[in-house]
Amino acid sequence: MFIVAGLGNPGNKYDGSRHNIGFSVIDVLSARLNAPLDFEKHRAFCGTAVYEGTKLMLAKPQTFMNLSGESVGELVRFYKIDIPTQLLVISDDVDMDFGRIRIRKSGSAGGHNGLKNIIAHLGTQEFMRLKIGVGAKPPAWDLADWVLGAFPKEDAERLKEIREEAADAVLSIIKDGPDRAMNKFN
């Protein structure tokens, strides 16, 4: 079992926000793999699929961003997965240019509260992550307002491409392994 958890905040009020880009990549994967998110398990909306012989669970934790580790930790423990090789977390990153994708096999939270909470609940930083740049906040903005704000309408087409590319990166990690995926997408 390979768990792909896209981070975000539940509720219509957060749809389309920068923080919810992880949720939107899970939605792309769900459609592509014909894996509807049709059940709730461990406080996450989930769907399953098989890709290239690997059973996947797509998950959208419903614990709100800053408590993502509660849901992800429960999923990891229930399915007894090997964290470094069978967990991938998709999140936004304000320290990267809009649209840039970066795959990492481990690392710090980098100031991201969702990742920080996952690290706390797993007791390790050794899990794969796919970060998607949402751009730095403008100087006059509060960080929370920036990440909880929606992408401008003029970015809609580019955002669609970014989500598709991120989904490609996820499938590459599963099929080819993280090292080859990093060479291709970073």
pLDDT tens, 13-29?
999 999 999 999 999 99
Cα–Cα distances in angstroms (integers) from residue 104 to residues 29, 33, 62, 131, 179, in the given order: 19, 23, 24, 8, 9
Question: Which CATH number fits the domain that encloses residue 85?
Answer: 3.40.50.1470
Q: What is the pLDDT at residue 114?
A: 97
pLDDT tens, 117-155?
999 999 999 999 999 999 999 999 999 999 999 998 899
Average pLDDT, the chain: 96
Look at the alpha carbons of 104, 26, 87, 92 in this order and tell me if their dihedral is positive or negative. positive
Quote the pTM value: 0.96
Cα–Cα distances in angstroms (integers) from residue 50 to residues 1, 6, 89, 123, in the given order: 9, 18, 18, 28
Q: What is the pLDDT at residue 156?
A: 87
- Side-chain-side CA neighbours of residue 80 (13 Å): 0
Q: How many domains does the chain have?
A: 1
Catalytic residues: 19
pLDDT at 4 over 90: yes
pLDDT at 89 over 90: yes
pLDDT > 90 fraction of the chain, expressed in percent and rounded: 97
DSSP assignment letter at 140: T
Task: Tell me which residue range forms the domain holding 142.
Answer: 2-185
